Amino acid sequence: MSKKLKVAVVGCGGIANGKHLPSLSRLKDTVELVAFCDIIVERAEKAKEQYGAEGAKVYEDYKELLKDSSIDVVHVCTPNDSHAPITIAALEADKHVMCEKPMAKTAADARAMLEAAKRTGKKLTIGYNNRFRPDSQHLKKVAESGRLGEVYFAKAHAIRRRAVPTWGVFLDEEKQGGGPLIDIGTHALDLALWTMNNYKPKAVLGSVYHKLSHKENAANAFGSWDPKEFTVEDSAFGMITFENGATVVLESSWALNTLDVKEAKVTLCGTEGGADMEDGLRLNGEEFSRLWETKVDTGAGGVAFYSGSAETDPQLEARLWIEAILNDTDPVVLPEQALVVSEILEAIYESAKTGKTVYLNN
């Protein structure tokens, strides 16, 4: 693979600097970081200084960046409400797009993104990096092997006791579309649907709570929040049934009085066995009229190692995405799959608002 892809990053805040830029910068044989865009130009300048290729450019307006026909790939790392317009414009400008999760603020926006990808023939993927963890990758193989049988019940866990993100626009419903459900619940739900082979959802029942967000001087991992700014839910829960009869329970919180804390983890229950991520990856089943359980060591070997050095899940995500473009293969996270996640999340919010079950016909 001799060609180097020219990559641009739109949005040079926390997720770009914490995940995308360090991961892409490792791919020196296949990637050049040539453009950086942010409405706060200083952030784009700083990212360019740290990660930019020679001659890299800085932009304040993503529309100007997209006029550069030499750019092959755009990573969208902005608040949820701008995912769709930036992604669609980039696809129409003949760029492949990696957009951060969730796919969009609304299901309609997510659908428009998928349609744009189909219309333009460019690749689109969404940043569900928890699929690339060693335990997730191994669980996917176990499920695909049939070892669990038919997986008919699952739990998607995204529970924090007190870890409300108090920076950026996380607490702004207008920009984000929601709180823990759309922020971390989206990861857990994607993981469940992916390991269960993305069943088609049929009906959704949801509950959304604002029970702790009003508290002053609250204990919180990131410092107390301002109740006046906390316009999103503090916890949300959903039950999803699927056309094949399977059920998934999704639980998410930034603030909840519980010690049962786990994030971006799943529990799968099948006809032949089960699996959970309670304490590493554990499998369970029955053999010769006896119950068994085992813990899987996912810390060595397999996909977590490449060319003799360990890869983190964001690094593996970035490498496989770039290779999908270079080899013209499907990305690991298909936009069709990410759309289903967005439709379910929106249905949970809708069900909580109306008090009724929401039926999905997709």
Whole-angstrom Cα distance, residue 100 to residue 127?
5
Report whether pLDDT(305) > 80: no
What pLDDT is attached to residue 302? 44
Let me know the angle formed at the C-alpha of 84 by 108 and 129, rounded to the nearest 5 degrees.
100
- Which one has a higher pLDDT value, 172 or 310? 172
For residue range 102-148, list pLDDT tens digits in order: 999 999 999 999 999 999 999 999 999 999 999 999 999 999 999 99
Mean pLDDT, residues 209-236: 97
**Mean pLDDT over each residue of the chain, to the nearest integer:** 95
Q: Whole-angstrom Cα distance, residue 90 to residue 96?
A: 7
Nearest CA to 155 out of 46, 71, 239 is that of 239
Alpha carbon of residue 83 to chain centroid: 13
Q: Quick one: pLDDT at residue 318?
A: 98
Sorting pLDDT into bands at 50, 70 and 90, what band is 243? very high
pLDDT surpasses 80 at 362: no
Whether the per-residue pLDDT at 308 is higher than 50: the answer is no
Distance CA 18, CA 280 (A): 24
CATH fold of 5-129+309-333, please?
Rossmann fold (3.40.50)
Using a pLDDT cut of 70, give the percent of the chain over it.
96
Q: Where are the domains of the chain?
A: 5-129+309-333, 131-306+340-359
What is the reported pTM?
0.94
- Local confidence band at 310 (pLDDT 50, 70, 90 cut-offs): confident
Model pLDDT, residue 303: 46
Answer whether residue 357 shows pLDDT above 90: yes
Would you say residue 63 has pLDDT above 70? yes
Question: Domain 131-306+340-359, what fold?
Answer: Dihydrodipicolinate Reductase; domain 2 (3.30.360)
**How are beta strands 151-159 and 124-127 bridged, if at all?**
unpaired
Check if the beta carbon of residue 62 is closer than 8 Å to that of residue 89: yes
What percentage of the chain exceeds 90 in pLDDT?
A: 93
Q: Are the beta carbons of 182 and 342 closer than 8 angstroms?
A: no
At 163 the pLDDT is: 98
Report which residue type is found at 275. A
